[in-house]
Chains A and B, each alone.
Chain A
Amino acid sequence: MTEDCASFFSRKRLEDRLVDTPIDESQVRHVAQLARLKLSDDEIRQHTVDLVAILGYVEQLSELNTDGIAETTHPLPLCNVLRDDEPQPSLTPDQALANAPQKRDTFFGVPKVLNQEGG
């Protein structure tokens, strides 16, 4: 049995970490807005509790010195996966729109976009 493994299941240690809570309700509301999730006040409260617990737990990563360690974003060392510039058949508009909640002619329909900008 190692010290490392003990840490996984020790609730005590988890609770110790929760002292400096890294996130509060107003931040949770902001994150919900970024994530485009409409949440009730109850949900906001619950997510705050959950996020505080989880963020407290993941805090342990800061124990590790990772200076100069490369980031892994792909498990396999692949590069240059390229395809030829050759056309493939597209879907028909009917297929493309088959699951659309609202359509007009061969367009997707959505409520009027009010003065928002894109990227």
Chain B
Amino acid sequence: MSALKRSMTEPGITFRTIIGLEVHVQLRTKTKLFCGCLLEFAALPNSLTCPVCLGLPGALPVMNREAVRLAIRLGKALNCTIADFAKWDRKSYYYPDLPKNYQISQYDKPLCQEGWLDVPGEDGVGRVGIQRAHLEEDAGKNIHDTPGCTLVDLNRTGTPLLEIVTRPDLTSADQAYAFCTELQKLATYLSVSEGSMQKGQMRFEPNVNLAIVRDGIEYRTPISEIKNLNSFKAVRAAIEYETRRQLQDWMADNSYLFGERPHENRGWNDGRQVTELQRSKEQAHDYRYFPDPDLVSVEVGRNAALQGELNRPIDELPVARCLRFQAEYGLSANDAETILAERATADLFERAVEAGAPPKVAAKQFVNVWSKLANEYRRSIAELGIEAKRIGALAKMVEQNTVSASAAKTVAAAMLDSTDGPDFLAEQLGLIQVVDEEELAKWVDAAIAANEKAVQTILTNPKKAKASEGFLRGQVMKISSGKADPGRAGELIAKRVAGLKDQED
């Protein structure tokens, strides 16, 4: 899609949309950024708090090493420079979900600076500049739906966030959408974040304005910041709406211009699909940033664990790895993407292939068999804990027709509760496919004898012949307790029925 658009209503006017994004990504730590309280979604309100995250008098923050490591990991993947010296600052504002009435954040010395993320789009890959990514603590939650009273839950207070700020390089709602999804893929792939939208682990704040050209003169509309979007769809819809609105507002009043009108904070009304101006009682914000005297600096070069994270070779990122999976293993784009949803799962897949698994069959099993089991247990495939070797062996058995694809599901389920190999388990379960032609012939004959109606259908009704053949194949599998090779059974059924037809003719 071209970034330059023509106004629908007034000829002679073109405009482009200028978008920058602020994205908050919740880091995947067990505990909060500055205290040992667990991070758990939907826990009993105020059951995961302590003097530190309640902001009680005398309590002091201590940095969570893992949060800093994860921030370095994502910063590197975003091609950022990781600062030698980063520090913590206090950002002051009053709000009931911020018990200290200041947020611990990083102001002038953020951990990650100046990077980029490549985002695939219709016109090819677009590079979006990253201005900075800094660590900060989340606030709690205000609940407004009780009459006359706001309720405050501080369980979320102190959750570690990485705030990623892009350059205003994005030019369309679609590109912003693509940026957000790519960022989510990257963060979940690197295990930096769970990336769950439902749990509010990614939140987006687009800054939008327009550059409008009329009669060769460029006009810029005021920047509006759309606060706290929590879905990709909302990002796209809000930017699309805001583009239309700003154009209309400018056309209605040509003094609706950057520099003449204030920066606007707007909220997204999902029900009405519009952005709404947020009125602030407070005057222009004055956050009074200053260095937090309770915390010391982060100096990556002077800490082994942080330096280790920095030195780790840059991983092959999902976009490149997806292309390689297609080229090297012949996977479909869909299968490759499913496997690449999480790095540990993709790594497991590659180890299974190294252990001798036929890649395409293994990929089908990841998508159809293992992912279903993982879902049942609410884990990722890698977290099921099955060794690559056993996963590979099962794929090999299917490739060699030792078990059928459907029997493989049963074997896979059995592998979860056992350390035995799939061959042993298939044997025990009686799922080894029989190749003995005589035995197969007996099962096919029995199936045909018991289902004359189906045979007749095949012979007389070409429209339903396929379905009936499938039915007979199923009967063979049933009679054989799954031991028949369904492919060969199908062939034999066709042969036998053809014979019957010949007889009739």
Contacts A81-B296, A87-B37, A96-B54 given: A107-B65 contact, CB under 8 Å? no
Within 8 Å by CB of B95, from A79, A82, A105, A116, lies A116
> Is the Cβ of B36 less than 8 Å from the Cβ of A86?
yes
What separation, in Å, do the CA atoms of A86 and B146 have in the docked complex?
36
Scoring B residues 51 to 76 as 1 if CB is less than 8 Å from chain A, else 0, what string do you get? Answer: 10010000000111111100000000
> Is the Cβ of B150 less than 8 Å from the Cβ of A106?
no
> Is the Cβ of B291 less than 8 Å from the Cβ of A73?
yes
Q: In this assembly, does B124 line the interface, its C-beta being within 8 Å of a C-beta of chain A?
A: no
Q: Which residues of A contact B231 (CB under 8 A)?
A: none
Rounded to whole Å, the gap between the CB of B208 and the closest CB of chain A is 17
Q: Among residues 42 to 94 in chain A, which have CB atoms less than 8 Å away from a CB atom of chain B?
A: 71, 73-74, 78-93
Within 8 Å by CB of B293, from A73, A113, A114, lies A73
Taking residues whose C-beta sits less than 8 angstroms from the other chain, chain A's interface range is 35 or more
Q: In this assembly, does A6 line the interface, its C-beta being within 8 Å of a C-beta of chain B?
A: no
What separation, in Å, do the CA atoms of A74 and B146 have in the docked complex?
44
Q: Which residues of A contact B306 (CB under 8 A)?
A: 80
> Is the Cβ of B282 less than 8 Å from the Cβ of A78?
no
Within 8 Å by CB of B64, from A33, A85, A97, A107, lies A85
Contacts A80-B302, A115-B281 given: A88-B291 contact, CB under 8 Å? no
Q: Which residues of A contact B62 (CB under 8 A)?
A: 81-83
What separation, in Å, do the CA atoms of A30 and B283 have in the docked complex?
9
> Is the Cβ of B46 less than 8 Å from the Cβ of A107?
yes
Give the segment of B137-145, B193-201, B408-416 that binds chain A. B137-145
Scoring B residues 298 to 330 as 1 if CB is less than 8 Å from chain A, else 0, what string do you get? Answer: 110011011000000000000000000000000
Within 8 Å by CB of A96, from B49, B67, B278, B281, lies B49
> Is the Cβ of A90 less than 8 Å from the Cβ of B152?
no
Give the segment of B27-35, B114-122, B454-462, B492-500 that binds chain A. B27-35
Q: In this assembly, does B254 line the interface, its C-beta being within 8 Å of a C-beta of chain A?
A: no
Q: Which residues of A contact B94 (CB under 8 A)?
A: 36
Within 8 Å by CB of B296, from A36, A79, A96, A104, lies A79
Q: Which residues of A contact B35 (CB under 8 A)?
A: 88
Q: Which residues of B contact A30 (CB under 8 A)?
A: 283
Q: In this assembly, does B21 line the interface, its C-beta being within 8 Å of a C-beta of chain A?
A: no
Q: In this assembly, does B47 line the interface, its C-beta being within 8 Å of a C-beta of chain A?
A: yes
Number of interface residues of B (CB under 8 A): 67
Contacts A82-B303, A83-B64, A118-B97 given: A109-B278 contact, CB under 8 Å? no
Q: In this assembly, does B227 line the interface, its C-beta being within 8 Å of a C-beta of chain A?
A: yes
What separation, in Å, do the CA atoms of A108 and B51 have in the docked complex?
15
What separation, in Å, do the CA atoms of A108 and B291 have in the docked complex?
30
What separation, in Å, do the CA atoms of A116 and B281 have in the docked complex?
6
> Is the Cβ of A106 less than 8 Å from the Cβ of B44?
yes
Contacts A85-B65, A107-B46 given: A113-B287 contact, CB under 8 Å? no
- Most chain B beta-carbon contacts within 10 A, residue among A30, A88, A105, A118: A118
> Is the Cβ of A112 less than 8 Å from the Cβ of B150?
yes
What separation, in Å, do the CA atoms of A105 and B152 have in the docked complex?
11
> Is the Cβ of B279 less than 8 Å from the Cβ of A115?
yes
Q: Which residues of B contact A96 (CB under 8 A)?
A: 46-47, 49, 54, 154
Q: Which residues of A contact B259 (CB under 8 A)?
A: none
Closest residue of chain B to A77, judged by CB? Answer: B296
What separation, in Å, do the CA atoms of A119 and B137 have in the docked complex?
12
- Most chain A beta-carbon contacts within 10 A, residue among B46, B64, B65: B46
Within 8 Å by CB of A107, from B98, B139, B143, lies B143
What separation, in Å, do the CA atoms of A111 and B149 have in the docked complex?
5
Q: Which residues of B contact A1 (CB under 8 A)?
A: none
Q: Which residues of B contact A115 (CB under 8 A)?
A: 278-281
Q: In this assembly, does B48 line the interface, its C-beta being within 8 Å of a C-beta of chain A?
A: yes
> Is the Cβ of B150 less than 8 Å from the Cβ of A109?
yes
Rounded to whole Å, the gap between the CB of A61 and the closest CB of chain B is 17
Q: In this assembly, does A34 line the interface, its C-beta being within 8 Å of a C-beta of chain B?
A: yes
> Is the Cβ of A113 less than 8 Å from the Cβ of B29?
no
Q: In this assembly, does B288 line the interface, its C-beta being within 8 Å of a C-beta of chain A?
A: yes
What separation, in Å, do the CA atoms of A106 and B282 have in the docked complex?
30
> Is the Cβ of B65 less than 8 Å from the Cβ of A113?
no
Contacts A82-B63, A104-B149 given: A90-B47 contact, CB under 8 Å? yes
Q: In this assembly, does A117 line the interface, its C-beta being within 8 Å of a C-beta of chain B?
A: yes
Within 8 Å by CB of B286, from A34, A91, A104, lies A34
Within 8 Å by CB of B47, from A71, A83, A106, A113, lies A106
> Is the Cβ of A108 less than 8 Å from the Cβ of B36?
no
Q: In this assembly, does A5 line the interface, its C-beta being within 8 Å of a C-beta of chain B?
A: no
Rounded to whole Å, the gap between the CB of B139 and the closest CB of chain A is 6
Within 8 Å by CB of A116, from B48, B149, B282, lies B282
Q: In this assembly, does A110 line the interface, its C-beta being within 8 Å of a C-beta of chain B?
A: yes
Rounded to whole Å, the gap between the CB of B43 and the closest CB of chain A is 9
What separation, in Å, do the CA atoms of A78 and B30 have in the docked complex?
26
> Is the Cβ of A118 less than 8 Å from the Cβ of B95?
yes
15 additional A-B residue pairs with CB within 8 Å, beyond A87-B36, A106-B44: A33-B283, A36-B94, A79-B296, A79-B297, A83-B63, A83-B65, A87-B30, A91-B50, A106-B46, A109-B150, A112-B144, A116-B281, A117-B280, A118-B139, A119-B95
B interface residues (Cβ-Cβ under 8 A, vs A):
29-31, 35-38, 44-51, 54, 62-68, 91, 93-98, 101, 103, 139, 142-144, 146, 148-154, 227, 265, 278-283, 285-288, 291, 293, 295-299, 302-303, 305-306
A interface residues (Cβ-Cβ under 8 A, vs B):
30, 33-34, 36, 71, 73-74, 78-93, 96-97, 102, 104-119
Across the A-B interface, give the 10 residue pairs with the lowest CB-CB distance, nearest first.
Answer: A88-B36, A85-B66, A107-B151, A82-B65, A108-B152, A73-B291, A80-B303, A118-B95, A78-B296, A79-B299
